[in-house]
Amino acid sequence: MFDTILFPTDGSDGADAAFEHVLDVAEAHDATVYVLTVADTSRDSVTQIRGQVIDALEREGARIVQEMAERASDRNVATVTEVLQGEPYSTIVDYAAVNDADVVVMPTHGRQGLERFLLGSTTERVVRRSDVPVLTLHPDGDGVRHPYRNVLVPTDGSDPAGAALDLAVDLSVAADAGLHLLSVVDVASLGIDVRANIAVESLEESAADVVDEATETASEAGVTPAATAIELGTSVARVVRSYVDDNDVDLVVVGTHGRTGFDRYVLGSVTEKLVRTAPVPVLTVRGTATP
């Protein structure tokens, strides 16, 4: 199902570690990996000087993609290499669309602290704006396993969640992986009075309907979910992370919300938190844009 994988790389340690996962996925799907390096011409210091500076960036880019191609060749994975000039995130998004990529794979950048993993600006912008699914993973390799044994779809019944479910079903079939469906009732905004308890019961019933519908969709595609769950919590992202840990999940597939306007696509807060903090790779899938 992933015939064409785009791997943008700057040659960093994080990108180097992520490439091993790219090769694992490419081997499993007999895919061609497009290795792309972008010489960043968006900075004033570069665009004003150009000439030798751009030449140096392109030479370094050529070295990086060549090394990646050699590593892929050692594992009999076909590659196409490219070095382009431009603003990295927009060049990556455009390149993925023009070359009909099935998925873009990019590492997040890690640091210690309250939110251990934060997206680098280029990765963040690609996730926000790409119409092609984007697989993000931690650069240190923690939590990265392949083949995927358990795939989780957090669902709220929305269009983006439906798009994520469709892709997750295909992945489950391709990898013979267990499909997990989870709907989280967010009780953070509810009080503690009787009316709140009634509201929780209503939300739980709605969540059950969402899971039942998702189960039916998966079953119609020939996949019987390995597990379904409805859980309450004050943070949807935190509940999802706990589910990942407790159920040996290897991949989270989640929808993103689109909108039209100057900043064309923005992540929903839950998706953004999952991409930043989930202990396993997160595959984001674009939903329908809304005004």
Q: CATH number for the domain including 173?
A: 3.40.50.620
Instruction: Please report which confidence band the pLDDT of residue 176 belongs to, taking 50, 70 and 90 as the band edges.
Output: very high
Q: Of 251, 246, 223, 265, which Cα lies nearest the Cα of 153? A: 251
User: 209 and 118 share a domain?
Assistant: no
For residue 144, being part of any structural domain is answered with no
For residue 142, being part of any structural domain is answered with no
For residue 145, being part of any structural domain is answered with no
Cα four-point dihedral sign 142, 145, 151, 157: positive
User: 129 and 223 share a domain?
Assistant: no
Q: Given this model, what pLDDT does residue 202 score?
A: 86
User: 155 and 269 share a domain?
Assistant: yes
- Output the six-digit token pair for 139: 């650069």
Chosen domain end from 84, 106, 137: 137
**Residue 57, pLDDT above cutoff 90:** no
Which range scores top for mean pLDDT: 9-13, 209-213, 235-239?
A: 209-213
Chosen domain end from 137, 169, 194: 137
User: 105 and 168 share a domain?
Assistant: no
User: 199 and 233 share a domain?
Assistant: yes
User: 133 and 244 share a domain?
Assistant: no
For residue 188, being part of any structural domain is answered with yes
For residue 15, being part of any structural domain is answered with yes
Q: How far apart are CA 160 and CA 43, in angstroms?
A: 34
Chosen domain end from 79, 103, 137: 137
Q: Given this model, what pLDDT does residue 74 score?
A: 97
- Output the six-digit token pair for 24: 């694992």
- Output the six-digit token pair for 163: 């798009």
Backbone angles phi, psi at 267, to 5 degrees: -80, 140
User: 156 and 269 share a domain?
Assistant: yes
pLDDT (tens digit per residue) in 149-174 = 999 999 999 999 999 999 999 999 99
Instruction: Please report which confidence band the pLDDT of residue 290 belongs to, taking 50, 70 and 90 as the band edges.
Output: very low
Backbone angles phi, psi at 95, to 5 degrees: -65, -40
Domains held by the chain: number: 2
Instruction: Supply the range of the domain harboring residue 35.
Output: 4-137
User: 281 and 162 share a domain?
Assistant: yes
Mean pLDDT of 110-115: 40
Mean pLDDT of 240-264: 79
C-alpha count within 13 angstroms, C-beta hemisphere, residue 197: 3
- Output the six-digit token pair for 277: 């903090």
User: 163 and 131 share a domain?
Assistant: no
- Output the six-digit token pair for 56: 């140096």
User: 186 and 239 share a domain?
Assistant: yes
Q: Convert the chain into a string of H (helix), E (strand) and C (coil).
A: CCCEEEEECCCCHHHHHHHHHHHHHHHHHCCEEEEEEEEECCCHHHHHHCCHHHHHHHHHHHHHHHHHHHHHHHCCCCEEEEEEEECHHHHHHHHHHHCCCCEEEEECEECCCCCCEECCHHHHHHHHHCCCCEEEECCCCCCCCCCCCEEEEECCCCHHHHHHHHHHHHHHHHHCCEEEEEEEEECCCCCCCHHHHHHHHHHHHHHHHHHHHHHHHHHHCCCCCCEEEEEEECCHHHHHHHHHHHCCCCEEEEEEEEECCCCCECCCHHHHHHHHHCCCCEEEEEEEEEC
User: 229 and 130 share a domain?
Assistant: no
User: 33 and 83 share a domain?
Assistant: yes
Is residue 281 reached through a cis peptide bond, with omega within 30 degrees of 0 on the bond before it? no
pTM exceeds 0.85: yes
For residue 143, being part of any structural domain is answered with no
Q: How far apart are CA 24 and CA 22, in angstroms?
A: 5
Q: How far apart are CA 109 and CA 121, in angstroms?
A: 9
Summary mean pLDDT of the chain: 85
Query: 24-38, 125-139, 202-216, 263-277 — which is least confidently predicted?
Result: 263-277
Residue of 73 and 43 predicted with greater confidence: 73
Q: Given this model, what pLDDT does residue 218 score?
A: 98
For residue 222, being part of any structural domain is answered with yes
For residue 157, being part of any structural domain is answered with yes
